[in-house]
Amino acid sequence: MQHVIVFGTGPLARLLHHLIETTTQDEVVAFTVDAAYKTYGQFEGKPVYAYQELEQHIATDNIKLLCAVGYSDMRARQQLFLRLKADGRRFYSYISPAAVVDSTVVLGDNSVIMANVVIEPFCVLGDNNLLWSSSTLCHDSTVGSHNFVAAGTTIGGCCRIGDLCFFGFNTVVIQQLHIADESLIGASALVLHDTVLAGKYIGSPARVVSTHQDTGIRL
């Protein structure tokens, strides 16, 4: 059994707490948030501690942290993970028992792999990626860090996915493409060509409609 502290008290934190406690043998012992955002003492029946005071309340030597922050500001999500990593935190990854992850797959820290996800052989994923239910990552693909893949997405074989990308519901990316950093792919888009840095793509076939290099992805 692993003991976990979940960083966050939003909907994603609530969901991951539920999944950890109902589908694994692991246990969430507490939640934590930055002191400025701590507004109550309990969440889902577990204590909430200010992150800056965490060690005053609980011994963290044998506890892993799960960063459960959503996609509303993708750069902020990245920065939080990097700050926690710089603090020397060890991270927990949630892999649903209903996911199919080949034994050759390499997963980074703070991975979240939901039910019915399929990750085929020889894929390599970086840190802080979330693959939602029923998405598929085909063989020999590489994925950077801090990406969010919504339910039903299919990414073809031998693709290269950058960092900080967002894939909407039921996106399809054909094989051997390069998806550049901070690409935003809208729901049900069909991506047939490499994407440009920080481009927003919609439609079938997908076309770029705007860029967001200044702000990053905010939803």
Q: How far apart are CA 14 and CA 27, in angstroms?
A: 13
Final residue of a structural domain among 63, 86, 109: 86
Residue 197 lies in a domain: yes
Could you tell me the pLDDT band of residue 178, with boundaries at 50, 70 and 90? very high
Q: Are 13 and 20 in contact (CB under 8 A)?
A: no
What pLDDT is attached to residue 147? 98
Q: Which CATH number is 60's domain given?
A: 3.40.50.20
Q: Which CATH number is 202's domain given?
A: 2.160.10.10
What pLDDT is attached to residue 198? 98
Final residue of a structural domain among 68, 86, 104: 86
Q: pLDDT by residue (tens digit) across 79-128? A: 999 999 999 999 999 999 999 999 999 999 999 999 999 999 999 999 99
What pLDDT is attached to residue 25? 97
Could you tell me the pLDDT band of residue 181, with boundaries at 50, 70 and 90? very high
Claim to verify: residue 37 and residue 122 sit in the same structural domain = no
Question: What's the domain range around 16?
Answer: 3-86
Residue 217 lies in a domain: no
Residue 213 lies in a domain: no
Could you tell me the pLDDT band of residue 163, with boundaries at 50, 70 and 90? very high
Question: 153: phi > 0 → left, psi -120 to 50 → alpha, else beta; which?
Answer: beta
Q: pLDDT by residue (tens digit) across 91-105? A: 999 999 999 999 999
What pLDDT is attached to residue 189? 98
**Residue range 198-209: average pLDDT?**
98
What percentage of the chain carries pLDDT values higher than 90?
99
Closest CA to 135 of 158, 122, 159, 119: 119
Residue 219 lies in a domain: no
Claim to verify: residue 105 and residue 20 sit in the same structural domain = no
Q: What is the pTM of this model?
A: 0.96
